[in-house]
Structure 1
């Protein structure tokens, strides 16, 4: 499969698919922290109409996450920023790619567009932490827990202030990335037409 991992600078999800032999590429405005050989440093809009079989997208949550909406509701932030962020999510969902996953925390996507297909936690995939993460899916099965472990710490919230705090908070957990590669990239997925009929 040709796999596009949109809004990813870490290369974690991309590499999880590459380990299974897929032609997977990450794309972000930032440089890639992993091997840059399979990374597009450009706006993802430039790539959406290429020939992709699957997309995993991580749209920036700054203006989408419920946890930060107090700034908008209190008048400290322009609500147009959330409107623009939602328009970007709709652009990703409307891309001519037969299968996709949109990943975000608890956010405005749920009320403004549609509810997620599932909510996952890091502790279901080998990390003893809590961070509710929503997945909106098109023609993909739900992600099954791959390695449930003890621990329910909110380590992400406890991070101290730093210039790179937003980057540290936004990286996909390695266990979650591996689960995506294993479950969506290491088995035959149902044909798109069949998957659509099952969802209707």
Structure 2
């Protein structure tokens, strides 16, 4: 069965579904980190009508949609982060406050449009991963529905904190597979578990903060893939 993993460079989710024998392809504007020949460099929207009969899991960029960034819509930052090119960062730096603010709102519109296209794709079973959104983003998304659930890596045997929300269509909530006990706040172990949020500035910070944990990917492949196959068998 065909599975699309959209907006992924790590290959983590793709490999999890591939290990279970599915015809799985990932795509992103950037090449795959693992050099896989089952990764397509393109806009995910170019592939949404290609008959993904099992399901699609998509990770559209959340920078302008997430609640933590809503403040930039009233007072824009003075510089862009490393996800932008050096030329883009320099241009942004030279802009006036009003020009930077207009850029923030344009980026929001673009991010919401991409999320909308993923969420409303002609695919029967869809999971879209994104954090909690601010109200400006929700207003711009077609057929918006709240996320079905927010999971933590430590539900799946991963010693880390990172709230991950899934918007689900035709798929069940993920069930925890190996729930760990989080360490107490203020301890060294708690700091280690917080490595995603404590990632230092740098060119790869966005990649560190966005990568899917193996435990979550394995649970998604097993539970969502299994649900989809059972659903199709029942309907046959």
Note whether the superposition's TM-score is higher than 0.5.
Answer: yes
- 1:151 is displaced (CA, Å) by 2.7
- Residues 16-165 of structure 1 correspond to what in structure 2 (within 5 A)? 16-53=16-53, 54-76=55-77, 77=101, 78-108=104-134, 111-112=138-139, 113-151=144-182, 153-165=193-205
Q: Indicate how the Cα distance of structure 1 residues 192 and 65 shifts in structure 2: closer, same or farther if over 3 A, else same.
A: farther
Separation in structure 1 between the aligned mates of residue 30 and residue 206 of structure 2, nearest angstrom = 13
Q: CA deviation at 1:156?
A: 1.0
Q: Partners of 1:171 and 1:182 in 2: how far apart?
A: 19
In structure 2, what is the Cα distance between the partners aligned to 1:29 and 1:128? 30
Matched, 1:168 2:198: no
Instruction: Verify the 8 A CA contact 1:59 1:89 in the aligned structure 2.
Output: yes
Q: When the two structures are aligned, how many residues end up with a matched partner?
A: 194
Kindly provide the CA deviation profile for residues 120-146 of structure 1, in whole angstroms up to 9, marking residues without a partner as x. 111101112221111111111111111
SS at match of 1:5: strand
Q: CA deviation at 1:108?
A: 3.3
Distance change (3 Å), C-alpha of 1:182 and 1:35: farther
**Shift in Å at residue 35 of structure 1?**
4.2
| Secondary structure, counterpart of 2:230 in structure 1 | coil
| 1:185-196 equivalent positions in 2, closer than 5 A | 185-186=225-226, 188-191=229-232
Superposed displacement of residue 190, structure 1: 2.4
Contact 1:139 1:192 in 2 (8 A): no
TM-score when normalising by structure 2 = 0.76
Partner of 1:15, secondary structure, is: helix
CA RMSD of aligned residues (A): 2.0
- Quick one: structure 1 residues 191 and 157, their matched pair in 2 at CA, closer, same or farther if it must change by over 3 Å? same
124-133 or 23-32: bigger deviation: 124-133
Cα distance in 1 for residues equivalent to 2:108 and 2:154: 30
Unaligned runs of 5+ in 2: 78-100, 184-192
Match of 1:183 among 214, 219, 223: 223
| Distance (Å, rounded) in 1 between the aligned partners of 2:226 and 2:112 | 31
Offset of 1:192 from its aligned partner? Answer: 10
Contact in 2 for aligned 1:140/1:189 (Cα 8 Å): no
Displacement after TM superposition at 1:157 (Å): 1.1
Residue deviations 1:59-115, cap 9 Å, x none? 001111111221122244422211221111111112111111000112238843221
Q: Deviations over 1:134-166 (max 9, x none)?
A: 111111111111111123532211111111100
